[in-house]
Structure 1
């Protein structure tokens, strides 16, 4: 039987493995290119002429039909093997296949990838991002586990594309982030994984399952040990000249030291509110509740010396991945370093990738915000609105939610964030 087409992928790619498994169960013959070097061949003009985005997996059918994006290719291959019923028997079945496939890719494998990126140093590591990804992954595993408590497969009574996709991404997860304690909570999902990958037609595609005992963790790079400098040989003392002669020997007049630039915020009247004490209280206390940081703030806040501002990114429609938006906040904060003694911030990403916003609050010295934030070149990309936390209930709720990282706007819940302190 002649191959239905050629699939560009690499052995370790999860989506490529899912497509190959789908083809095996569908009875569709596919070919792999004789040679393919990732990040080289997919950047060549001849590859980009066929697949404009330069991504793999990519499919070129024997009939000339071209397709990229793993989920789309897997579904197309499944449809070619109609007798296998990998898309189910009814339109409702097909919808459920898409449901489970999309869930496991967007909510499980996405966070497996993100944890891999931040623990390996490809992306900057932050503990909140790591924790958030593990929580989202655990929630998804729980959903999958609950379904399999009463079902052998995800759709109907036979293997479908949903089972192949779930198993393909769980197979990748158990080798990276779904460690022994996490697996103990999902015995039915592990049973399902082992059932699928050990199908006679799929054993060679998946190989043996690698179970990690402890999930990926971030290890800071080791500091280089400085070699002790050899003791410098004593230098002979120069002959001391009389002050008058020293002045006469100077060919150039002494250059006066540049005057130290004073920040205009230092000239503001003294305030009873100490920003450094607030930063310590916020860092060391629970945010809400009796004795918490918010209570401490209201007990000590002096509106005569400080002001509170709502911060909103002006161009939310340009935001894509939430972790990239969080990195953007980090970059903004880095550029505000010169204002650290005058400013506190709690700003976060709300929503999901492709549908998110950046919002939060600043506490600043003085009655206006510009003097502190214009240290950052991109400060004008944000809108600022002064909040009245003592006289306006909506302002107070917004302020407290931004501090507690549970702010929600227009149905978008807090996803991740950073503090400037």
Structure 2
């Protein structure tokens, strides 16, 4: 078995795939010619992978674009968990939906990728402490997460924890979680892990927000003089540093904009007549019943050629034991996509009922462009894979009903009662 993986170097998502392949013996070749922002935007690539997502995998007629699906495919009975696949999937979900969002919220600002927000960072630390405490107890009688051998559960969670251990989980923080530390160190020192990750060095001091690096990465998106030269220089530091200790430097996945950090995510889109700021003011000031005034304004001014309408549905509603958990997830997501606010607006509604699943999270979004806006910037992609996305035809009756439904924020959708509406504007 063999195939080609399209990705950029040191992607923590791709590492999950490559480590699985090491265990199964599946030969995976990383395309050396891949350039993020170019290869994945090319006609040839989009013909194979219409969503333009990476990592992407090709083997004969098989073409896959979701990390977990690719890892499953290149794995074997051991990594899949044999007769315990549900338990493996449980921990993969835990890594993707509990650990990863909190890890990115905490680590990315220290690398200049995201703006620092004290409240969100403290909440991320709190969420991680809760997750680590539970995991530490669970591992007190276990070597691995599922069964007696390494599975994709261990691979996915360990690769997700790498950025934490390498950048922010200093000894004073991690010492309380001895069982987790033992589990992590055991894994990253396995030959299959080391062949992909190299030598993983645990940080000795917690990294802090790097405002200078943040300004360098984000301050030139508007085209400051000399930005291109400095952008190239920025790429030579960090993950591409020539120092002999690359694993102590930030990885490319942890600096997702590193290949072309200064590029404006909205560059190349045609001009539009739709004034997003004007619409947001209209919506915010609309006191009419059912938001009829802003609905009318929306359809009179909406540029359906330059903007697109989408619905979102959270894939894992069973995770919401309490309603506030859904609210916290949405607030964290909105903070992480702050950079989209100029060209995006969304309504995310949390509904509840008595029987299981007790809650569900759905939404209506519109943004500039016809593709998924999350694909325009790697740092916006923390949460979007946890949702099912569906593009609406703006001329359809369904689109009109959806706009009316979400603008109004009805008390019920017929089965669930509304608990909260989070508007991103």
How would you bin the TM-score normalised by the shorter chain? Answer: 0.5 to 0.7
Match of 1:322 in 2: 331
Aligned 1:278-317 pairs, distance under 5 A: none
SS at the partner of 1:217?
A: coil
Q: Deviations over 1:49-87 (max 9, x none)?
A: 1112212111101x2100012111111212xx34xx222
> C-alpha root-mean-square deviation of aligned residues, in Å?
4.3
* Whole-Å separation in 1 of the counterparts to 2:336 and 2:162: 29
Whether the aligned pair in 1 keeps the contact of 2:349 and 2:418 (CA below 8 Å) is: no
Residue from 349, 353, 361 that aligns with 1:355:
361
Distance 1:416 1:192, change over 3 A: farther
Match of 2:33 in 1: 35
Return the offset for 1:11.
2.5
Whether the aligned pair in 2 keeps the contact of 1:104 and 1:166 (CA below 8 Å) is: yes
Match of 1:129 in 2: 120
* 2:79 paired with 1:74: no
TM-score normalized with structure 2 length:
0.52
Match of 1:4 in 2: 2
Higher helix share: 2
Distance 1:34 1:156, change over 3 A: same
Gaps of 5+ in 1: 223-308, 333-347, 359-380, 385-408
Return the offset for 1:178.
2.4
Whether the aligned pair in 2 keeps the contact of 1:178 and 1:212 (CA below 8 Å) is: yes
Aligned length: 263
SS at the partner of 1:31?
A: strand
Return the offset for 1:20.
0.6
Return the offset for 1:36.
1.5
Match of 1:88 in 2: 81
More moved, 140-149 vs 207-216: 207-216
Return the offset for 1:410.
5.4
Whether the aligned pair in 2 keeps the contact of 1:325 and 1:349 (CA below 8 Å) is: no
SS at the partner of 1:39?
A: coil
Whether the aligned pair in 1 keeps the contact of 2:109 and 2:210 (CA below 8 Å) is: no
Residue from 33, 56, 65 that aligns with 1:58:
56
* Whole-Å separation in 2 of the counterparts to 1:178 and 1:349: 34
Q: Deviations over 1:107-135 (max 9, x none)?
A: 11222222334445544432111111111
Gaps of 5+ in 2: 214-286, 296-309, 315-329, 342-347, 352-359, 365-405, 410-416
Whether the aligned pair in 1 keeps the contact of 2:312 and 2:363 (CA below 8 Å) is: no
- Highest RCO, 1 vs 2 (Cα 8 Å, sep ≥ 6): 2
TM-score normalized with structure 1 length:
0.53
Return the offset for 1:163.
1.2
